[in-house]
Amino acid sequence: MENKRNVLMERYDFGRLLGQGNFAKVYYGRNLITGQSVAIKVIDKEKVLKVGLMDQIKREISIMRLVKHPNVLQLYEVMATKNKIYFVIEYAKGGELFNKVAKGRLKEDVARMYFQQLIRAIDFCHSRGVSHRDLKPENLLLDENGGLKVSDFGLSATAESNRQDGFLHTTCGTPAYVAPEVIYRKGYDGAKADIWSCGVILFVLLAGYLPFHDANLILMYQKIRRAEYKFPNWFSPEMCRLLSRMLDPNPKTRISITKIMENSWFGKGFNCNAVTIKNEVTGLDPLAADVIFDSCENDSAPAEAKKEMSQPASLNAFDIISLSSGFDLSGLFAKDNQKKETKFISMHSASTITSKLEDVARFLKLKVKKKDGGLLKLEGSEKGRKGALSIDTEIFEFTPSFHLVEVKSSSGDTLEYQQILENGIRPALKDIVWAWQGE
């Protein structure tokens, strides 16, 4: 029986499926001219347009052309058809570094080797004005020789993304690895936030578990803000000193990459001249990201990639906030309806959510008090069996298109709160709610 090949744009053979997410599938591929192995990321245009992520993809392309480094996964080519976007990227045969850590902690020399390559790559990114903002073992890949490759620049930012105060303000990243100042939402230095994430990664490599962990996301954030963690007894004093300076909750006193490279523990076996970096920026034209997405050619993806989904992307809260696959948040979305708090996901902007909550409060004759950090307090004017009812709502932004909103009773009668929630708040918010907890 004839073995039919799946060929993309007459340039690449499509092979086996390597992995998939809600918006994309990644296939093994081969360049038909050079025979080089590649990975081909196939993105569903309709889905990313529906959730407003197209600008993020364009930004990712622009950023990846800036960071040509041996320890950064390379983007070779981008193509598009009417329905699909194709990223042709470097093939990392060794898979995710996370898979190694999942089997247990690494030996100190091995962990240091990976950490040295990570710092070298991030130092180069920062020299190009790029902050990664989602560093974690799942985004660190390995080539066939064990060389580390930093990947997934979808949440990255450049200096141009800074506001007038010179800081970034978008809360993003993976909760267990995110820096405390990112949680504060008062502006942060992306490079300093990356250093914190590198510190968490180093801890994980050496310990085999996360320094900050709690089944409840809010409680975990409190630990991160206070830098509450303990070193295992097998950590050497040198390692502890370095990690303490990287996991400093004050970004102003947090160690710099230059100082990390000067650290005695880091420097063991480190050759700063081990790689040659090209100073020139090569790759795609800056306008290419806009031009290729206007393509209306016939789709030429393999049969599996051609299957269109008639249903909208089925995302849950765990997908939205891009949590580590080994991180348990089962306590976050409890199913006990008598609890004093509940949460929902919204795809609307924070300002729209706030405006809707204010409308609901007025309809329910509740007073509204605004506080810092996206917190709204809704208060009843009449006293119930246990005093005046008070409801706190807080908005957490994980990407510009996805928000987690927590609604909880801070005082008053629980039964009264449940009645207002079920008969008033939930029905009134149906236009902006994508999914309530447990749904």
Question: How many angstroms separate the CA atoms of 435 and 421, rounded?
Answer: 15
Q: How far apart are CA 250 and CA 192, in angstroms?
A: 10
Angle made by CA atoms 191, 223, 181, in degrees to the nearest 5: 30
Q: What is the dihedral of CA 27, 32, 38, 41, to 10 degrees?
A: -40
Residue 47 annotated in ligand binding: no
Residue for token digits 């990114």? Answer: 125
Task: Please report the DSSP string for 350-413 in residue order.
Answer: HHHHHHHHHHHHHHTTEEEEEETTTEEEEEEEEEEBTEEEEEEEEEEEEETTEEEEEEEEEES-
Catalytic residues: 134
Q: What is the largest CA-CA distance in the chain?
A: 79
Tokens of residue 430, six digits: 């149906």
How far, in Å, CA of 100 to CA of 103, rounded?
6
Residue 291: how many CB atoms within 10 A of its CB? 11
End-to-end Cα, the chain, rounded Å: 47
Q: Which amino acids are annotated as binding site, given as ranges?
A: 41
> Residues at the annotated binding site for ATP?
41
